[in-house]
Structure 1
Amino acid sequence: MPTATNRGVSLHYETDGDGPTVAFVGDVGYGAWIWGWHYDALSGPFETLVWDLRGTGDSDAPAGPYDVETLAADLEAVLADRGVGRVHLVGAGLGGMVALRYAHEYGRARTLTLYCTAASGGDVDEAALRSLSLDAGEESSLDGAFSPAFRERTSALVERITEWRREEDAAGDAFAAQAAAMTDFDAPPLYEITQPTELYYGVEDPVVPADAAESLAADLPRGTAAAVEGRHCCFVEHSAAVTDRLTAFLDEHADPEF
């Protein structure tokens, strides 16, 4: 299993497929399982890269505080280790913030796809964010992530998600450090982030309000926003439709040579 290192912190990542690189940047607490649907659909025509944020999965979990600038530097270390020249970034929540910072500070980003992301941590509901942690209880921590209808309709899948979370998710101090990075975030000047950007938000997301997501998209020079039924993990709940949109977006902006 490949690892990159940033200032002594070991960062685990995995790749599959062969083509332009699509790198996934995770949300607070969630392990790599959250990208399974996208990963399976895109691997092949694209190289898919999934990495564990510091504090999550097989990456090191140094003591906090964490911040988005450091997480963006972690991403740069991973991409440099892999030898990626150009990259399409897909980030959720905190990962969307990391993608924004990365696109502003580094030169590899080709496009951005953001899920349930805001330009400021001040727009994030801290109590709702904390409720997503496994520390809040396996069952109750799903309330803000998935709609009741989804959980009832796909009970077997929800059980599997719970198992994956036990194995991969960050909890305790690591979750708190990631959450603080999200709530302390202030975006760089958005007019300077000129990559094509698509943003999707959950219409019932208790963590990032719809108007905050829409405002972020409106302030990006090449940003668009689309509503998705569901809560903070709406992109998982409606993975087929969202992945289709993502694939079309990547195809539109794929470099002829990579």
Structure 2
Amino acid sequence: MPTASNGSVSCYYETDGEGETVVFLGDVGYGAWQWGWQHAGLTGPFETLVTDLRGAGRSDAPPGPYAVDDFVADVQAVLDDHGERTVHVVGAGLGGMVALELARISTRPASLGLLGTAPGGADLTLDPLFGSPADPDELESSLAAALSRDFLDAHPDEVARIVDWRAAEDATREAWDAQAAAVEAFDITDRLYEVDCPALVLHGRDDAVWPLEYGRRLAENLPRGEFVELDGGHLIGIERSREVNDRLFGFFESA
């Protein structure tokens, strides 16, 4: 599978399908496993490009702390390596911040799909989301902050698979802290007017870590923002995958 280099940092990515490219940027600490539900739903009508943010999965984990600007430069390197100029971008949590900043400073994003994110992270408490990849019990218990109780109770087999994927791909504590520092330091609340591409903001009403109101205010302050509130917790792309995929598909088709 291909890698792109941003200076000394190697960034893993993989692509599938044909058509307009949709890039997926993940949340703090999670590997690319988190996009399996969207990959299955959007590949074919679109080319999907999934990358591990620095610190997680198969990308390098240099010493931190990181900044959102670091991730934006990594994504630019991936897109240059792949040869794509204009893309649709889907970002969750930290990845949503990266998507916003990429759209603010460049014309590469044709549109944005923003899941459970915010324009600033200083007031967030992300620690409940962390689980050590070496501790399966901790990985499972930390899902209580990411997924609703209804989902966890109704899908034990899915939860077990997620724990296995997290053990293989998620960030260590050191790398997780480096990623979380980027969230805490990021704030473009007063510069959202500079993000002028269409943006669909999807947020779980029971998100325990990235509050629903953050997503609502984000959409209201984006020049071309649209807000959709869905049942579920933080990882809404997993809990409501069919509806999320349908909404992303329609949004990208019309962008």
Aligned twin of 2:131: 134
Do the aligned partners of 1:4 and 1:78 also contact (CA within 8 Å) in 2? Answer: yes
Q: Does 1:147 align with 2:148?
A: yes
Aligned CA distance change for structure 1 residues 11 and 30 (closer, same or farther; 3 Å): same
CA distance in 2, matches of 1:17, 1:122: 38
Task: Output the amino acid matched with 2:83.
Answer: G
Deviations 1:148-196 (A, max 9, x none): 1111111111100110110011121000111111111112611111100
CA distance in 2, matches of 1:185, 1:95: 12
2:139 is paired with a residue whose SS is coil
After superposition, residues 33-48 of structure 1 pair within 5 angstroms as: 33-48=33-48
Percent identity over paired residues: 50
Task: Output the amino acid matched with 2:240.
Answer: H
Report the RMSD for the aligned CA atoms in angstroms. Answer: 1.1
Deviations 1:111-146 (A, max 9, x none): 00001111111242x2xx111111381222111111
Q: Which stretches in structure 2 are left out of the alignment for 5+ residues?
A: none
CA distance in 1, matches of 2:174, 2:53: 14
1:139 is paired with a residue whose SS is helix
One of 251, 254, 257 as aligned partner of 2:253: 251
Q: Which stretches in structure 1 are left out of the alignment for 5+ residues?
A: 254-258
Aligned twin of 2:28: 28
CA distance in 2, matches of 1:208, 1:82: 32
Do the aligned partners of 1:230 and 1:237 also contact (CA within 8 Å) in 2? Answer: yes
2:145 is paired with a residue whose SS is coil
CA distance in 2, matches of 1:10, 1:161: 25
CA distance in 2, matches of 1:3, 1:155: 34
Task: Output the amino acid matched with 2:145.
Answer: G
1:58 is paired with a residue whose SS is coil
CA distance in 1, matches of 2:107, 2:226: 22
Aligned twin of 2:202: 200
TM-score under structure 2 length normalisation:
0.95
TM-score under structure 1 length normalisation:
0.94
Do the aligned partners of 2:56 and 2:169 also contact (CA within 8 Å) in 1? Answer: yes
Deviations 1:52-98 (A, max 9, x none): 10011111000001000111111000001000021000000000000
Do the aligned partners of 2:55 and 2:61 also contact (CA within 8 Å) in 1? Answer: yes
Q: Which aligned runs of 4 or more in structure 1 are off by greater than 3 angstroms?
A: none
Stretch moving more, 184-193 or 174-183: 184-193
